[in-house]
Structure 1
Amino acid sequence: MTIYFGLGTNLGDKEQHLRTAVQKIKERIGKVISLSAFYATAPWGFTSEHTFLNAALCVETQLSPLEILKITQEIELEMGRIHKSVNGAYSDRVIDIDLLLCFAGDGTPVLLDVPGLQLPHPLMQDRRFVLEPLAEIAPDVVHPVLKKTMQELL
């Protein structure tokens, strides 16, 4: 299975937080295939004096999306994330790890809509801070619902 993640942080040593998250994902979820550059971005959906650092990550794994979600939530907690954003109530965060896209071993898109996880991520196409790093590492990957490449969505 191939999973694309969006990573973000706007507190503390942002570059180190992203690197730590990538390392923990590598150790617990699977092989890192590609990692985008780190992108400095303005907060989205709320006001903060802290800018974000964002990245996209592609990983190969044998785990299911729900197993991956559980692990990423554990990583967020370990790194100091106190609470997830709920119903658009966004706030500053040490780390945010979002599952964006998932493809089975044969390349078939995994579509999922269960409490706590939607694949593909329902807002990814509206967020430049997601699309820019994702288009860097996966420009030709097609959004399974919108039928456009990441480059086209960007």
Structure 2
Amino acid sequence: MHVYFSLGTNLGDKEQNLRLAVQHIEERIGKIVSLSAFYATAPWGFTSDNAFLNAAVCAETSLPPLEILSITQSVEQEMGRTHKSVNGEYKDRVIDIDLLLYDDLILDTPTLKLPHPLMQERRFVMEPLAEIAPDVIHPVLGKTLGDIYRDLTD
């Protein structure tokens, strides 16, 4: 299975934070298939003096999605993230690891929705994702990730 993640950080050594998150994904979830460039972006959904560094990564895995979610949440905590965003209240963070796609699986549980329900609205997610997976089809929208990125208006 191929699983796609969005990574973001706006505190500390941002490049090192992204590299460490990728290393943890490879050690605990599966072999890294592709990693995007790192993109400097403005905060989204809140005001901060700290710009973000974002990336997308794809890993091969045999783990189920809810186990992957648990692992990524543990990695976030180990790297120093003390809170998750709740009800749209976003804050500065050392690392944010979002599970975007798990092959073409559509999943809707209280703890995990796949594909990520807001990914297609966020340039900071779609730009790096379209770089590494432009021809992957969004399982709900039926469009390629490259087309979704090109159609963004934000």
- Paired residue type of 1:61: T
Provide the identity percentage. 73
Is residue 42 of structure 2 the alignment partner of residue 38 of structure 1?
Answer: no
The aligned residue for residue 112 of structure 1 is 107
Deviation at 1:116, TM superposition (A): 1.8
Deviation at 1:5, TM superposition (A): 0.3
- Paired residue type of 2:60: E
Runs of 4+ in 1 over 3 A off after TM superposition: none
- Paired residue type of 1:76: E
The aligned residue for residue 14 of structure 1 is 14
Matches within 5 A, 1:29-68: 29-68=29-68
Deviation at 1:120, TM superposition (A): 0.2
TM-score, reference length from structure 2 = 0.96
The aligned residue for residue 78 of structure 2 is 78
The aligned residue for residue 134 of structure 1 is 129
Separation of aligned partners in 1, 2:101 and 2:62: 15
Structure 1 runs not aligned, ≥5 long: 104-108
CA RMSD of aligned residues (A): 0.5
Deviations 1:6-59 (A, max 9, x none): 000000000000000000110000000000000000000000000000000000
Deviation at 1:115, TM superposition (A): 1.4
The aligned residue for residue 152 of structure 2 is none
Separation of aligned partners in 1, 2:85 and 2:110: 14
SS of residue in 2 equivalent to 1:8: strand
